[in-house]
Amino acid sequence: MTRRPRLRTVVTTGDPVLDVRHLSASYRSVEALDNVSFTMSAGQVVGIIGPNGAGKSTLMKAMLGLIPASQGETLYGDRSLADQRDRVAYVPQRSQIDWTYPATAWDVVMMGRVKKTGWFQRFSADSRQLATAALERVGALELRDRPIGKLSGGQQQRIFLARALVQEADAYFFDEPFVGIDKKTEAVIFDIFHELAAAGKTVLVVHHDLGETMTHFDSLVLLNRELIASGARELVLTAPNLDRAYDGKVAFYNRGAA
C-alpha cells in the first residue's frame, strides 16, 4: 500500500499568511526589485506575472532569503519566512539545473525527504512510500529508475513536482514551472496546484504567459521591478495595469481570462 503525502495544518482560506513588506533587492548593484509589498492568503494559487526582467524570480528568492534583501522583510504567519524554511518547498527554474548530473528520478524525488529525515539518518520506509505515491500522483512512476538526463522537459518538471510534494510543506514556491513542457504535464501540474490550495496550502508560482492559463490563478501579483498591482485576478488584469507593467506592449493579452 502506498499513501498520499499527508496534508496537515489546514489554514482557513482567506487568512493572510504571507506578508511581503517593502521588499527591495539588487543583483550586482543593479536594482532588481523596488519596495514591493503584498499579502497573500492560504488556500490560493497565486501567480507572479510581469515582463522579462521584471524581477519575478528575484522576488521569490528574496522572499525566501536565498538572495539578500537590501530592505524589507517577508513574514509567514508571524515570523520571518526565511526562518521557517522547513515549511517551504521551492522548485527552481529547470534551466538552472545541470540535468547531466548522475542521478535517477528516484534520487531527485528522495531529495525532498532529506530535511525531514534529519542528519545522519537513513530514509525511512515511510519516506520511500511517500516518494512512490508522489511519483504516481504526477504520473511518472515508470520513470523511477531513469537517469534524469534522459527525461523530457515535462517529465523533468513532474519529477521536480514530486520532490516538492514529498517535502510535505505548507508553502510551495515554483519558479517558471511551465517553461518547455507539454500540455499534458501542464494540466497535471495545475491539477496538483488546485489540490494543494484546497488543502489550505500556500502556492506561489512565477509565470510569464498571459494566455488562457491565467484562469488557473486565484490571485495575481503583477510586477515590473516595482509592484504594479496585486489581488484578485480580475482586479489585477486591467488594461491600465497591464499597460503600465508591459509599457503598452501586451497585444497578446487574452481579455477572456479576466
> Which residues would be at the binding site for other proteins (CB under 8 A)?
28, 61, 64, 66, 85-86, 88-92, 96-98, 101-104, 107-108, 110-112, 114-115, 117, 119-120, 123, 147, 163, 167, 173
Beta strands in the chain (DSSP E): 16-27, 30-41, 44-49, 71-76, 79-80, 88-91, 171-175, 202-206, 219-224, 226-232
The smaller minimum CB distance to other proteins, of residues 31 and 107, is found at 107
Helix axes 125-137, 153-166, angle to 10 degrees: 140
In the complex, least distance from residue 147 CB atom to other proteins, rounded to whole angstroms: 4
The smaller minimum CB distance to other proteins, of residues 52 and 100, is found at 100
Query: What span, in angstroms and rounded, lies between the C-alpha atoms of 171 and 167?
Result: 10
The smaller minimum CB distance to other proteins, of residues 123 and 253, is found at 123
In the complex, least distance from residue 37 CB atom to other proteins, rounded to whole angstroms: 22
In the complex, least distance from residue 66 CB atom to other proteins, rounded to whole angstroms: 6
In the complex, least distance from residue 239 CB atom to other proteins, rounded to whole angstroms: 36
DSSP 250: -
Q: Is 166 exposed, middle or buried (0-12, 13-18, 19+ CB in 10 A)?
A: buried
The C-alpha angle 122, 123, 126, rounded to 5 degrees, equals 140
Query: What span, in angstroms and rounded, lies between the C-alpha atoms of 190 and 110?
Result: 22
The smaller minimum CB distance to other proteins, of residues 196 and 210, is found at 196
In the complex, least distance from residue 24 CB atom to other proteins, rounded to whole angstroms: 20
In the complex, least distance from residue 18 CB atom to other proteins, rounded to whole angstroms: 15
Query: What span, in angstroms and rounded, lies between the C-alpha atoms of 106 and 131?
Result: 8
Query: What span, in angstroms and rounded, lies between the C-alpha atoms of 185 and 203?
Result: 18
The smaller minimum CB distance to other proteins, of residues 104 and 185, is found at 104
